[in-house]
Amino acid sequence: MRKVAKIYTGHSPKIGDYTIDVHVSSELDSWDLDDFSRMKDLSSIFGTPDMSVEDFIETLETIIGGDFEEATGVAPTDSATWDIAKYLDHYNQDYIRENTYNWAWFGPTMEMLFWGGYTLLMPHLGGDIRGNYGDVVVYKMYAEDFNEIFGSINIGIYIETADGESYNYYSEDIEGVDYMTMESGESAGNVEDIIDDLELEEFDIWD
């Protein structure tokens, strides 16, 4: 069975006689899908950062040794995740670095670097994916802790019919999400057809 992540190409379009709205929620907050996908303030998802990137790099230098600026040619205040990765490579440190741009998911684009008990995140601010990232934010958490928060993000689908009936669906997690786009104005026969078309068998119903 598939779960559906993206249902529409605009905000709350009419599909036949039905209005479909999509929302996202976590343990901290909830958002309209469009707002969530464009999010720049990652603290809305992961909470207040635990330390500045300058303090993190100072911690790195204390634990690993060497000088960050000498190893990378970049000042700590100007560093990005790829600069920190370069420093870790220089001292043969193991780490994980990923970018959600490479994932099939419905949330904000961000760079991630996991090392030791630290998680570094850097939001993309728009435009070319190869540049234009915001400041690095640092959390004292392992990759497993990050994945637990990430996995708590739910996507919900709200369907309202022309005669006032409403239906709510939500996913328990984002694992195995597939993307499906329905253009505004696309014909749909009835709610049962919508449910079949969107393959909502894995969504729980709540009123």
C-alpha angle 109/114/120, rounded to 5°? 55
> pLDDT tens across 25-82, in order?
877 888 877 788 888 898 888 889 999 999 999 999 999 988 999 999 999 999 999 9
What pLDDT score does 24 carry? 80
Whether residue 33 lies inside any domain: the answer is no
Of 112, 136, 151, which marks where a domain is finished? 151
CA distances from 114 to 93, 127, 195 (A): 11, 25, 39
Whether residue 31 lies inside any domain: the answer is no
The band of 107, judged by pLDDT with boundaries at 50, 70 and 90, is confident
Contact 8, 158 (CB under 8 A): no
Whether residue 34 lies inside any domain: the answer is no
**Average pLDDT in the 11-24 region?**
58
> pLDDT tens across 172-199, in order?
433 433 333 333 333 333 444 555 555 4
Contact 159, 191 (CB under 8 A): yes
What pLDDT score does 167 carry? 63
Whether residue 112 lies inside any domain: the answer is yes
Tokens describing residue 2? 């598939």
Q: Do residues 9 and 52 share a domain?
A: no
Q: Name residues whose C-beta falls within 8 Å of residue 2's C-beta, 6 or more positions apart in sequence.
A: 176, 178, 180, 199, 202
**Average pLDDT in the 85-96 region?**
95
Q: Do residues 191 and 128 share a domain?
A: no
What pLDDT score does 131 carry? 86
DSSP H or E segment with residue 8: none
Domain, as residue range, for 124: 40-151
User: How many domains, the chain?
Assistant: 2
Compute the distance between CA of residue 188 and CA of residue 159 in angstroms, rounded to an integer.
Answer: 12
Contact 181, 8 (CB under 8 A): yes
Q: Do residues 70 and 122 share a domain?
A: yes
Tokens describing residue 78? 């100007």
What pLDDT score does 169 carry? 59
The DSSP call for residue 56 is H
> pLDDT tens across 132-167, in order?
999 999 999 999 988 888 777 777 767 676 667 666
Q: Do residues 98 and 123 share a domain?
A: yes
Helices 81-90 and 53-64 cross at an angle (nearest 10°) of 0
